[in-house]
Structure 1
Amino acid sequence: MKLLLTSGGITNDSIRAALVDCLGKPIADCDALFVPTAQWGQPACTPETVWKSTAGRWEGAGGLTDLGWKSVGVLELTALPTIAADRWMPWVRGADVLLVDGGEAIYLSDWMRASGLAEILSSLRDTVWVGVSAGSMVMTPRIGREFRDWRPDGTDEALGVVDFSIFPHLDYPGWSSNTLEMARRWATGIPGPAYAIDDQTAICVRDGIVEVISEGHWELLNSPVGDPADR
């Protein structure tokens, strides 16, 4: 599986180019499945926000569903345990890309396991995973206690598909808890490498190689090789 882990979606030309490169063909030739599940675990999200994300109606935000796909379907993970796996697995295996929305990462992680989707990720070798915020954080080992909004006294362990953690929405306007100072403080509780990324930044992971794509600001925290890289 190829991963494009974003904070805010496809927000600029560089991230869009990285998406096309991961897909290996034009967006217009690709079938997508949109996963809104993480929103249900986030107290700030509502049925209206789920609709806006699904319909691509967020003004001024990076889109997922409105990029010009050949087709877009909705994959709601909370429904999958109620239907036969041989019904939904062909949908997943037939998709070129999974568009995984933000919300609450641990809620999403739990439903990925409960639905069976987590079990088949390693077999989706040609599929592209595009995450937004929690949809990116779910692939990391730990999200940090600061981001636990569902079961706040529970675990902050996610799926651990990658070996680094993500602090999203760096320096987001009006969000006083998303400053670089706060990100550095958050990283002291993360036992491994971590990236603080803004909404103009994405992390691409292919064949074990990690590449940061950015037209904005990011910082590598807890670097295993020396001083953090600041961009």
Structure 2
Amino acid sequence: MKLLLTSAGISNKSIRNALVDLLGKPIEESKALFIPTAIYGIRGSAEIIRQVICGTAGDPFCEAGWRSLGLLELTVLPTIKKELWVPMLQGTDALLVGGGDCQYLCYWMQQSGLTEMLPSLLNKMVYVGLSAGSMIMTRFGTTYGNHTLATNSDKSFGFVDFAIHPHLDHEQFPDNSLANQEKLARTLQVPSYMIDDQTAIKIFDNRIEVVSEGKWKLFNPDQARTAS
């Protein structure tokens, strides 16, 4: 399993080097597919998707210098034959999964059949998550509620046994202070990585490595209970 779970994308040289290491070759020689689906669960989605694809939304993600970049919209896949999109997915080097609404993204990953395919795909490709795209692979996800999905719909899949809390101390997310993220982490039964936009979690064959040029903290609920 090869995962690069970021808060904001390929935001610095260290994260870029981690991506190249997982790919096993330069980004310029690698093919990528971008999944924008989670963005539709938040306001202003059409413009945000355009910005992410064009590389004007913030740190590099789609515009990291890929050999080729395709777009895979999950909401379309249940209506077309798998033979039209599965080979494209199998032939890619990196799956770029954008941020937005975790619950909405989980729902369409399940409806499209991608969730069932991921275990075998992750032996060959690199999964690169951004914010919600990272969180759904862990044991914790959130929702904006801008949709009609059932409230008990999945918000994460638990491919890894920890939680990620992105955008630590970000000026656009005033609730994401370290104190608030620690308070949230205390409600969970798994370790929590609180990471800022200059930090990512690299997973290769179940080995976890924090890649950072910024701020992060690991909160372990077992240690917290022992200390109390």
TM-score normalised over the length of structure 1? 0.91
Contiguous gaps of at least 5 residues in structure 2:
none
- State the partner residue of 2:144: 149
Match for residue 66 of structure 1?
Answer: 63
Show the counterpart of 1:104. Answer: 101
Secondary structure at 2:85's aligned position in 1?
helix
The secondary structure found in structure 1 opposite 2:96 is strand
Q: Distance in 1 between matches of 2:59 and 2:128?
A: 12
Partner of 2:48: 49
In 1, are the aligned partners of 2:169 and 2:176 still within 8 Å (CA)? yes
Aligned counterpart, 2:2: 2
Question: Which secondary structure state, in structure 1, belongs to the residue aligned with residue 116 of structure 2?
Answer: helix
Aligned residues of 2:189 and 2:221 also touching (Cα < 8 A): no
Contact 2:14 2:211 in 1 (8 A): yes
Amino acid at match of 2:211: I
1:24 matched residue in structure 2? 24
| Displacement after TM superposition at 1:50 (Å) | 1.0
Q: CA 1:152–1:120 in structure 2 vs 1: closer, same or farther (change >3 Å)? A: closer
Q: Does the CA-based 8 Å contact 2:38-2:102 persist in structure 1?
A: yes
Instruction: Tell me how far 1:223 sits from its aligned partner.
Output: 4.9
In 2, the alpha carbon distance for the partners of 1:71 and 1:174 equals 31
Which segment is superposed worse, 25-34 or 186-195?
186-195
Distance apart, 1:109 and its partner CA: 0.8
Q: Which moved more, 1:172-181 or 1:68-77?
A: 172-181
Report the equivalent of 1:14: 14
Q: Does 1:196 align with 2:207?
A: no
1:108 alignment partner AA: L
* Misfit runs of 4+, over 2 Å: 150-157
Structure 1: distance between partners of 2:172 and 2:106: 28
How far residue 62 of structure 1 moved from its aligned partner, in angstroms, is 1.2
Preserved CA contact (<8 Å) 2:143 2:155: no
Q: Which residue number corresponds to residue 167 of structure 1?
A: 165
1:3–1:45 Cα change, 3 Å: farther
Q: What's the C-alpha RMSD, in Å, of the aligned pairs?
A: 1.5
Q: After TM superposition, give the deviation of residue 142 of structure 1 in Å.
A: 2.1
**Residue of structure 1 equivalent to 2:82:** 85
| Aligned mates of 1:223, 1:15 — CA distance in 2 | 27
Which residue pairs with 1:182 in the alignment? 180
What is the CA-CA distance between 1:189 and the residue it aligns to? 1.9
Could you state the TM-score of these two structures normalised by the residue count of structure 2? 0.92
Q: Aligned-pair distance for 1:87? A: 1.4
Q: Tell me how many residue pairs correspond in the alignment.
A: 220
Structure 1 regions of 5+ residues with no counterpart?
none
Counterpart CA distance in 2 for 1:169 and 1:107 is 20
- Tell me if structure 1 keeps the 8 A contact 2:7–2:195: yes
Q: Conserved in 2, the CA contact under 8 Å of 1:148 and 1:156?
A: no
**1:157 Cα deviation after fit:** 4.0
